[in-house]
Amino acid sequence: MGSEDNFFNELQGDGGVRAPYSNYNAWFAEQDTTRLQTKSKEAEAFFRRSGITFNVYGQSDAEERLIPFDLVPRILSNTEWSRLAKGIEQRVRGINAFLHDLYNRQEIISAGIVPKRLIAKNDAFLPQMIDFTPPGGVYTHIVGTDIVRTGENDFYVLEDNARTPSGVSYMLENRETMLQMFPELFSKIKIQRVSDYPKNLRRSLEAAAPTHCDGRPCVVVLTPGIHNSAYYEHSFLADQMGVELVEGHDLRVVDGHIAMRTTKGYKTIDVIYRRVDDDFLDPLTFNPNSMLGVPGIMDIYRAGNITIANAPGTGVADDKAIYSYMPEIVEFYTGEKPILKNVQTFRCADPDTLQYVLENLADLVVKEVHGSGGYGMLVGPAASKTELADFAQKLKNNPSNYIAQPTLSLSTVPIFTEAGLAPRHVDLRPFALVSPGGVDIVPGGLTRVALTEGSLVVNSSQGGGTKDTWVLED
């Protein structure tokens, strides 16, 4: 892999320290390294004690792990952020319009922009959603857009995560931890708040409640249970919003509504923020073996008596084959040029493209169309010859399951190491809330960082860490 000079360094520009980092850098220069090391250990103990952990599937001995936290913030100026936020809002509006169109008139297919076979053969496309509009017309109540930066003004969307994006609890806990560790920084440097997120999430979910719902809508968070890898986040969000955290067996259909079993009997609920995949949502409609969902919920949903967030069937908008059409999709519905760029994407389903991908495998990143979490992907430049050969075989066996992209030069930000600050590659996942009233994007997001020098894989399941993300006030 090339030298680190080929990557955009968010701390150091050609003319020295870049403006967003100047105040922080001055503060850092005065710090005692030993003290920072102690602070770093304290942060880890704090995460451990608070149970801010995630479960790793198939690893019983280390059942719960911490996502490493780095104490150097990633800093964006308000100008940089405003442009990003505008781009995300535009993209999220495009995705919602796209979903509504796909499940209703399918104009984008008639217009020849997205090929019909990509939809018809797509497992994430749910026929149950056809000719139905969710309450308030909202499909993706929460979107976590993965963004990478390659230059001063070059931001690319890597993934749209329109199903059940996770990680927002880390955004909030990272900020809390920084406030505890370095209160003096927050009095010196004015940073936009992220702490309103849970309140805004609840308000946004309530605004998308079924229209005939009387009084304040009853919102719940639906989790697969304590063994799910993101359980901590589910309980955290329910707690922060002040709503019940339920599992499928707490819910049932009562008089045409979904109700939860309380100590006083069944109570009707209006909005389910579900962290359960589509396939497990309703054993009567989808996977019949699912113990995680609510039998009959899809009938109640189609009758307009419950809001499910995100709506079932949104996955069709964020799979990696549809991704390559996103610029056209955004332009088709918003009538505007996309603000954020898309990464060039090779669709392996096409025989000529497959040939090209196979010939250039060592320079490309190959991903499964429905994959996530960094599983099942190949990073060509980092792979051995055997790995490349094995992967080539997988590609030939099932080409339409894969897309390929050029290896992106992800920007670096500094992390704190024993030898001082050192650059590492990062991405960014801001969180957008969509309600009938509009789109609300919390200023910041989750910055994931590849802790290994030179590595481009930031996923927590693959040894990545996180850091606080600051958006400065003007």
Shortest Å, Cβ 297 to other proteins: 15
The three-point CA angle 135-260-208 to 5° equals 15
What SS3 state is found at 342?
A: strand
Residues 45 to 84: which contact other proteins by CB under 8 A?
Answer: 48-51
| C-beta of 235 vs 459, nearer to other proteins | 235
User: Helices (H) and strands (E) in the chain — how many of each?
Assistant: 15, 26
| C-beta of 53 vs 78, nearer to other proteins | 53
| C-beta of 246 vs 365, nearer to other proteins | 246
Burial 88-119 (b: 16+ CB within 10 A, else e): bbbbbbbbbbbbbbbbeeeebbeeeebeeebb
Residues 244 to 303: which contact other proteins by CB under 8 A?
Answer: 244-247, 249-250, 252, 260-265
Rounded distance, CA 109 to CA 319, Å?
Answer: 17
Shortest Å, Cβ 426 to other proteins: 30
Residue 25: asked if its preceding bond is cis (omega within 30°), the reply is no
Q: Give the largest Cα separation in the chain, rounded.
A: 68
Shortest Å, Cβ 242 to other proteins: 8
Residue selected from 238, 259, 276, 413 as contacting other proteins according to rule CB under 8 A: 238
Shortest Å, Cβ 217 to other proteins: 18
- Binding span for other proteins by CB under 8 A among 44-52, 197-205, 433-441, 461-469: 44-52
- Binding span for other proteins by CB under 8 A among 243-251, 373-381, 407-415, 418-426: 243-251
Shortest Å, Cβ 235 to other proteins: 4
Shortest Å, Cβ 142 to other proteins: 19
Helix axes 197-207, 168-181, angle to 10 degrees: 150
- Binding span for other proteins by CB under 8 A among 242-250, 345-353, 369-377, 396-404: 242-250
22 contact partners, CB below 8 Å, separation of at least 6? none
368 phi, psi to nearest 5 deg: -75, 145
430 closest CA partner among 200, 234, 145:
145
- Binding span for other proteins by CB under 8 A among 42-50, 82-90, 144-152, 455-463: 42-50
What SS3 state is found at 334?
A: helix
| C-beta of 166 vs 314, nearer to other proteins | 166
Residue selected from 133, 235, 407, 462 as contacting other proteins according to rule CB under 8 A: 235
CA dist list (Å): 339 to 85, 312, 429, 474? 10, 28, 17, 22
Residue 30: HSE in the Cβ half-sphere, 13 Å Cα cutoff: 6
Helix axes 385-397, 351-359, angle to 10 degrees: 170
Shortest Å, Cβ 252 to other proteins: 8
Shortest Å, Cβ 199 to other proteins: 16
373 contact partners, CB below 8 Å, separation of at least 6? 459, 461
Residues 205 to 234: which contact other proteins by CB under 8 A?
Answer: 226, 231
Shortest Å, Cβ 255 to other proteins: 18
Residues 386 to 415: which contact other proteins by CB under 8 A?
Answer: none
Q: Give DSSP secondary structure letters for 218-287.
A: PEEEE-S-TTSTTHHHHHHHHHHHT-EEE-GGGEEEETTEEEEEETTEEEEE-EEEE-S-HHHH-TTTS-
Shortest Å, Cβ 20 to other proteins: 33
| C-beta of 231 vs 391, nearer to other proteins | 231
| C-beta of 245 vs 308, nearer to other proteins | 245
Give the count of residues interacting with other proteins (CB under 8 A).
22
| C-beta of 48 vs 190, nearer to other proteins | 48
| C-beta of 46 vs 132, nearer to other proteins | 46
What SS3 state is found at 426?
A: strand
CA dist list (Å): 341 to 9, 16, 305, 372, 447? 19, 27, 38, 21, 19
Shortest Å, Cβ 239 to other proteins: 4
Q: Is residue 111 at the binding interface for other proteins, with CB under 8 A as the rule?
A: no
| C-beta of 36 vs 284, nearer to other proteins | 284
| C-beta of 263 vs 386, nearer to other proteins | 263
The three-point CA angle 31-193-165 to 5° equals 105
Tell me which residues touch other proteins (CB under 8 A).
48-51, 226, 231, 235, 238-239, 244-247, 249-250, 252, 260-265
